[in-house]
Chains A and B, each alone.
Chain A
Amino acid sequence: MASTTAPTVVPQSGAERASRSGIWVGIFAITMSFMAFSSALFVRQGSLDWGHLVLPSILYLNTLLLLASSGTFELSRRHLEFHTAGRVGSSGAGVAWLLATLALGIAFCAGQYAAWQNLRAQGIYLATNPNSSFFYVLTFIHVLHVTAGIVAFVYLLGRLTMGSRLARRSFFDNTAIYWHFMGVLWLYLLLLCRIKL
């Protein structure tokens, strides 16, 4: 593993603190939205037409991919080189881990698409039964949120490999918080789709 540089103590500016607050507030709002979906699901589960859905097994592989991507992103963060004014650069290994994270994120989305195709092949569509409706809705909206994380990775890669090859540390850290949250959210959604209360 490449050696890491000790972070220089740079007081966070108001904007950096605000972006950290912003990411947590955003996560709170996303959580609230999924709580609304969950409560709708619980209500709908009480109806007679609720059909049991056997989840495509690829979802478990996707879960591993997403969790692994959190790990690779942390490895990428370990290779950050701290500069002044809240900027970070990264070694070749750091960029490589970030690329791996990006690839895993894209692979997760592709895997989710494969899961949808799998269900479609079984004749299970969005409107087939309430369970499938919730499955498609929850997984699609989760993928939309994951895509936002992937866009952040592409941005970070661009910053770390082009021009000054520096990125804002706060952006890196906030992306990490968001991405780990995507993993936790997915575990919750998988559980929600798997079990019947």
Chain B
Amino acid sequence: MSETSAQPVQVHAPPQGFLWKYVFSLDHKVIGKQYYALALVAVFTGMFLSWLMRIHLVWPVAKIPGLELMSKAGAPGGVMTPEYYLSLLTMHGTLMVFFVLTNAPFAAFGNYFLPIQIGAEDMAFPRFNMMSFWLTFLAWVVLMLAFVIPDGPPIAGWTEYTPLSAIGKDAGPGMQWGASLWGISIAIFCAASLLGALNFIATTLDLRAKGMTLMRMPLCTWAWFITSCIALLAFAVLLPACILLILDRHAGTSFYIPAGLVASDRLQPHSGGSPLLWQHLFWFFGHPEVYIAILPSMGIVSHILVNSMRKPLLSAKVVIYSMMSIGFLSYMVWGHHMFLSGMNPMSALAFSFPTLTITIPATILTLMWLGSLYGANIQVNAASLFALGFISMFVSGGVSGFFLAQPSIDIYLHATYFVVGHFHMVMGVASLFGVFAGTYFWFPKMTGRYMNEGLGKLHFWITFIGTYCIFMPFHYLGLIGNIRRYQSFVDDFMAPYIPLHRFITIAALVTGAAQFLFLYNLIHSRFWGKPAPENPWNATSLEWTIPSPPPWNNFGDKHPVVYHDPYQYGVKGSGGDFVMQDSPEPISGGD
């Protein structure tokens, strides 16, 4: 493969008509926005489900108005049954992990900006790209169908642990058809993600503009590229795992179901399967999935921070190599999710070591950000605040990972709120902070208008403080032995901690409400926001060299030529303290 492409090719014709322009569009930017919209719907649905769960946890007999409409069997009289709590928990996790944390930072922003940032007119395979989105949409529809079928959503959690997830209705409500819908939905999602990853990789390798060497790619492009490599491996394993699960459920096979399993007083007609097999296959996907969620945000945040600091990172190369190391190591650690599953104890040690090793590149990354921030005169705006917030979440959530990586400590903390607090901060909220930062930063490019800064800052502070109020106490609750997935804590040793749970619930309601500020800002600014110039942040990468919003073929008839890396800030350029990537002016000491 060549390093650069002298002549970007016109990969598809200009879109004609509403249907081809906005629905079945081949344009990577429209597809990126479609992913973003789907993620937005999914995140608000997931958040709403978490509200219902939090309310039920602390007021378990309270009637929630309208809940009976969601499920008569699951919430008779508006009071949630324990099983329905598990259904909501499953759907919350599945929506958030797959349809939000994979879609928003990776598929949405990656689709929109990766081709532009490398100087391409579109993705390498626009039809695959469109197919990838619509398959993802289909996966979402199939999953959401679980809410409307009489069986209801599955209760097995987002990890769908076998054997109970494989045996059907004897495993409880939602496990007959709801769990099947889950399996089919995720299988479709895998296929869609594989198509997407393939597109990202081929585009990055072969459609770069002249002069756009790999090391001149922006850090977010690097992050999307590394993420697509991870996704390619991860989803290629989850897809077969789901196929085997569906066959166990509907074709009478016994891949995951052992002999002699009795559920609902019925001996299951299976033999010889291995429940651990699912866990191995699932977590071989599941742990890299953590990095599929977080790496794009690392890239986005690095990209935004440099712009806000008006000076380069200590070393962009070290950031790239650290992200690569994290991606590589992510495949060697899946067993740390299974310390208590019955694996050979020696395996636990073998998985603990690489898990702890991951902290090295993660720490280097953090030091790169913090070291670069030292002495910087950072421009404070909503985008940079969320970027800084990302670092805070990543560090706070990541530190608890040190504990969980060690089998001896994990034996105590496993399946407690400590784990829930850890992954929500380091994977969930940190990744979403990257998405928020990206939204505030790139909104002017995507729409030609600014988002409201005041509302953005208010959104940040409520979300930042609220998130700590929700998830830091989770760690404490975990340490005192608060088991996760329980639907209430009345009349047991947890009773003294109910007030803390109430505080968390109130914090969750307030933090969730603040997200409507964001939604309002997003919609209002789209139509009535202050018009933004082509390059409002005095940024250097290629997306800021084209009109806002960009035309269908990105660069028009021009073929961009790249002369510098994207982090030429704090230099004397003709336009100010920066030099754009496509500017031929020389920079002493620059790339």
Contacts and interface: CB of A to CB of B under 8 A. Distances in A.
User: Are A and B genuine complex partners?
Assistant: yes
Interface of A: 12-15, 17-22, 25-26, 28-30, 32-37, 39-40, 43-44, 47-50, 126-127, 130, 133, 137, 141
Nearest to B285: A36
B236 A33 contact: yes
Contact of B254 (A17, A33, A127): A127
Contact of B124 (A19, A28, A48, A137): A19
Contact of B240 (A17, A25, A37, A44): A37
21 contacts: A14-B7, A15-B124, A15-B206, A18-B203, A18-B206, A19-B124, A21-B124, A22-B125, A22-B198, A25-B201, A28-B232, A29-B232, A32-B233, A33-B237, A35-B237, A36-B237, A49-B259, A49-B271, A127-B251, A130-B254, A133-B255
B455 interface: no
Interface in B153-202: 194, 197-199, 201-202
Interface string B282-323: 001000000000000000000000000000000000000000
B207 A14 contact: yes
A144 to B, nearest CB: 11
Contact of B202 (A22, A33, A43, A48): A22
A33 B252 contact: no
Contacts of B197: 25, 29
Contact of B201 (A21, A48, A133): A21
A118 to B, nearest CB: 19
Contacts of B11: 15
Contact of B281 (A17, A25, A36): A36
B7 A126 contact: no
Which 5 pairs across A and B sit closest by C-beta, in order of nearness?
A18-B124, A127-B252, A49-B272, A14-B5, A32-B236
Contacts of A21: 1, 124, 201-202, 205-206
B255 A44 contact: yes
A53 to B, nearest CB: 14
Given A29-B236, A49-B272, 13 more contacts: A14-B5, A14-B206, A15-B9, A15-B11, A17-B2, A17-B206, A22-B198, A34-B240, A37-B240, A50-B272, A127-B252, A130-B254, A130-B255
B244 interface: yes
Contacts of A26: 198
Contacts of B280: 39, 43
B285 to A, nearest CB: 9
Contacts, number: 124
A26 B125 CA distance: 12
A36 B254 contact: no
B272 A130 contact: yes
A25 B235 CA distance: 13
A36 B241 contact: yes
A141 to B, nearest CB: 8
A29 B9 contact: no
Q: Among A35, A44, A141, find the residue whose CB has the most chain B CB atoms closer than 10 A.
A: A44
Q: Among B7, B199, B201, B232, find the residue whose CB has the most chain A CB atoms closer than 10 A.
A: B201
Interface string B350-381: 00000000000000000000000000000000
Contact of B252 (A12, A18, A19, A126): A126
A40 B273 CA distance: 10
A29 to B, nearest CB: 5
Contacts of A30: 236
B551 to A, nearest CB: 19
A148 to B, nearest CB: 13
B519 interface: no
Contacts of A48: 272
B247 A126 contact: yes
Q: Among A20, A34, A47, find the residue whose CB has the most chain B CB atoms closer than 10 A.
A: A47
B243 interface: yes
Contacts of B255: 40, 44, 130, 133
Interface in B213-248: 232-233, 236-237, 239-241, 243-244, 247
A36 B236 contact: yes
Contacts of B232: 25, 28-29, 32
Given A15-B124, A21-B202, A25-B232, A36 B8 contact: no
